[in-house]
Homo-oligomer: A and B are copies of this chain.
Amino acid sequence: MTSTPAPGSPAWWLRRTASPTAPRRGRGRPSLDTDHMVATALRLIDEHGVHAFSLRTLADALGSSTATLYRHFANKDEILALTVDLALGEAGTVPPAAPAGWRDVLSTMGHQVRAVLTRHPSLLPTLMDHVPVGPNALAQRERVLAALLRHGLQPALAARAFTAVGHYVIGFAVQQRESDGAPLADYYRDLDPTTHPAIAATAESLTAVTPDDEFAFGLGLLLEGLARQKDASP
């Protein structure tokens, strides 16, 4: 009895990347069909949000039918996972050409992933659902980890640092996301100061800084903590 791995799971990716239906670039006929379908899905999600994305809308945009989609993908989750991986491929080469050190590697990675999320904010829910383990995500993880090891970080610290920066970027994007057109900080500031004095007091200072400054501040804080850890057990 062979178990069928759930889409988006590591085992599923292993199966998919090993299968002959996986897109082959370089040699042979590239399966442009699949690539085009995923690109179309990404565009639809960017334009109308992941909430409005259905297999019927994708089939319509492709001039096909929903049943045909199942000849290219196992199910909707697979399409969403491929969409996220396609967007992560836009992150560019991480680390940069000549990183000044491990801090530079992680800082660049953080800003590049943030750029991807800024370009595709609708992907945030899907990105949070599963740890991305598609080919582009794996390639990025490999590049960054290799650079960190090259700069002398211990393996355990390198892995944790990669995860910490990734989580920070996603967490920041969630926090920054507006609800109902008004930032969360406005909501906190308008709370009754007598029942929530501390929230109101701290909300004032929240709106003083720009999102970019806030992002850089938190990222610097994270790297500072990592540096302390590195020096503590070198």
Query: CB-CB < 8 A to A9: which residues of B?
Result: 179-180
Instruction: State the 4 A-B residue pairs at the shortest beta-carbon distance, nearest first.
Output: A167-B171, A225-B225, A10-B187, A145-B198
Nearest to A11 among chain B residues (CB) is: B180
Closest chain B residue to A201, Cβ basis: B155
- Nearest-neighbour CB distance to chain B for A92, whole angstroms, equals 18
> Is A36 close to B, CB under 8 A?
no
Main secondary structure of the interface of A (DSSP, over half): helix
Which residues of the partner chain B approach A155 to less than 8 Å between Cβ atoms? 201-202, 204-205
Copies of this chain present? 2
Q: A10-50 toward B: CB 8 Å interface, digit per residue (1/0)? A: 11101000000000000000000000000000000000000
* Least CB distance, A136 to chain B, in whole angstroms: 13
Task: Say yes or no: is A228 at the interface (Cβ < 8 Å to chain B).
Answer: yes
- Whether A175 contacts B156 by the Cβ 8 Å rule is no
8 contacts between A and B (CB under 8 A): A9-B179, A10-B182, A133-B187, A145-B201, A155-B201, A156-B206, A159-B203, A167-B168
Most chain B beta-carbon neighbours within 10 Å: one of A149, A167, A225: A225
